[in-house]
Amino acid sequence: MMAAIVEPNVSIVGLPGSGKTTFLAALWHLIQSDEIATRLRFASMSNEDYAYLNQIVKLWRRATEQGRTQIAGMKSISMNLVDAADRAIRVTFPDVPGEDYRTMWEDRKIDEGLAENLSAGNIMLLINGDRIKSPAWITERMHLAGKVENGPVEEPARWEPRLAPTQVQLVDLLQHLMRRPLARGRRRLAVMMGAWDQAEGEGLSPSDFQAARLPMLDQYLKSGRDGWTFRTYGLSAQGGEFDENDENNAAAKAREDANRLRELDHLSKRIRLLSDGTESHDLTEPLEWLMDDQ
Ligand SMILES: Nc1nc2c(ncn2[C@@H]2O[C@H](COP(=O)(O)OP(=O)(O)OP(=O)(O)O)[C@@H](O)[C@H]2O)c(=O)[nH]1
Ligand SMILES: [Mg+2]
């Protein structure tokens, strides 16, 4: 098959609640509004995905959290972009419910469509910096020892895969991506430490945060045994806390921060991307880097 334009594929992957849909909404606002100069610019859009992106961007503009992406399946999104040299690049990403990645971890199962997508491109891994499940919290030990919830005190609760720390699940996911049937040789990986507005209070750079909070993931990547070429970014796709979405929670709360975010002159300025000591609003920078490798 002959293709006139380059068609790189970037897969956005992440556990449930890692910020995948929010990232796509912020990216769509950024390139469509043209409020801020970006490395890659919007060219045109393929028709089928228009409604979905507009639906998620509407919530983003109102500073309201996204609904959970439905199990009903993967939304495949394509954007036609151009780079600084006016070369046309069509980028496709799936917006997949995080549960599909959880299924890979818990049940060792993958849907065919997702498998095809994951084997086709470079990877953007989203991590919610505000929801990292650390190894062995004392409360978890208590739970495992049967001292809370589930059953009589004498009977320890059964361990379940979902109790595993975030970094264990992520390393497993990355290992799957480097083995059959998902392998495709060396790949680039952009690790996005998301909800950075909540994580930055610790005073660490994104790379140091990765080393401190997800040391096993950090060592897996640095050891180079699976051949990832990676970069770590800090990402705030919202700029702060949005109002809760009543689709997720009937008692959804409004949040103070959301008012500030609604009042910015250019909504694109909510977005923050940190890398190597520099900060910008340009979410297309990691995309450009991920595409470079094709
Ligand atoms: N503070 C803050 N929260 C964020 C940011 N980005 C995402 N979140 C929050 O993270 C949660 C999950 O975001 P989603 O975009 O729905 O995550 P997802 O990966 O699409 O989740 P699933 O579709 O359920 O797999 C929501 O509560 C968001 O408001 C951010 O930049 N800052
Ligand atoms: Mg989602």
Residue 2 lies in a domain: no
Task: Output the six-digit token pair for 126.
Answer: 């989203």
Dihedral-angle region of residue 240 (phi above 0 means left; psi in -120 to 50 means alpha; beta otherwise)? left
Q: What is the domain extent for residue 77?
A: 10-291
Please give the Cα distance from 175 to 183 (Å, whole number).
9
Select from 59, 60, 66, 198 the residue to mutate for testing ligand 1; criterion: most ligand atoms less than 8 Å from CB.
66
The closest ligand to the CA of 65 turns out to be 1
CA triplet 8, 11, 12: central angle to 5 degrees? Answer: 135
Task: Output the six-digit token pair for 154.
Answer: 């004498």
Number of domains in the chain: 1
Residue 5 lies in a domain: no
Question: Closest Cα partner for 96 from 85, 81, 116, 83?
Answer: 116
Residue 270 lies in a domain: yes
The DSSP symbol for 269 reads: G
Please give the Cα distance from 60 to 26 (Å, whole number).
7
User: How far, in Å, from the CA of 115 to the mean position of ligand 1?
Assistant: 23
User: How far, in Å, from the CA of 144 to the mean position of ligand 2?
Assistant: 30
pLDDT at position 49, please? 57
HSE-CB at 42 with a 13 A cutoff on CA atoms is: 16
pLDDT at position 36, please? 95
Residue 4 lies in a domain: no
Task: Output the six-digit token pair for 28.
Answer: 């769509």
Select from 74, 128, 193, 200 the residue to mutate for testing ligand 1; criterion: most ligand atoms less than 8 Å from CB.
128
Residue 3 lies in a domain: no
Task: Output the six-digit token pair for 267.
Answer: 């909504």
10-residue stretch averages of pLDDT, the chain, 294 residues long:
59 92 95 94 69 91 90 73 84 83 88 84 94 76 63 65 90 94 91 97 96 97 95 98 89 91 96 94 94 70
Residue 107 lies in a domain: yes
Q: Is 0.75 surpassed by the pTM of this model? A: yes
Please tell me the residue having the least CA distance from ligand 1 atom 2. Answer: 195
Select from 11, 22, 23 the residue to mutate for testing ligand 1; criterion: most ligand atoms less than 8 Å from CB.
22
Please tell me the residue having the least CA distance from ligand 1 atom 27. Answer: 65
Instruction: Ligand 1, residue 235: give the atom nearest the CA.
Output: 31
Measure the N-to-C terminal CA separation of the chain; round to a whole number of Å: 17
User: How far, in Å, from the CA of 151 to the mean position of ligand 1?
Assistant: 33
User: How far, in Å, from the CA of 87 to the mean position of ligand 1?
Assistant: 32
User: What CATH number should be reported for the domain holding residue 76?
Assistant: 3.40.50.300
User: How far, in Å, from the CA of 240 to the mean position of ligand 2?
Assistant: 18
Please give the Cα distance from 68 to 244 (Å, whole number).
12
Handedness of CA 130, 133, 134, 136 (dihedral sign): positive
Ligand 1, residues at Cβ distance < 6 Å: 14, 16-22, 65-66, 68-69, 97-98, 128, 194-195, 197-198, 236-238, 240-242
Residue 162 lies in a domain: yes
Please give the Cα distance from 204 to 184 (Å, whole number).
33
Question: Closest Cα partner for 16 from 166, 116, 159?
Answer: 166
Residue 170 lies in a domain: yes
pLDDT at position 3, please? 41
User: How far, in Å, from the CA of 252 to the mean position of ligand 1?
Assistant: 15
User: How far, in Å, from the CA of 102 to the mean position of ligand 1?
Assistant: 16
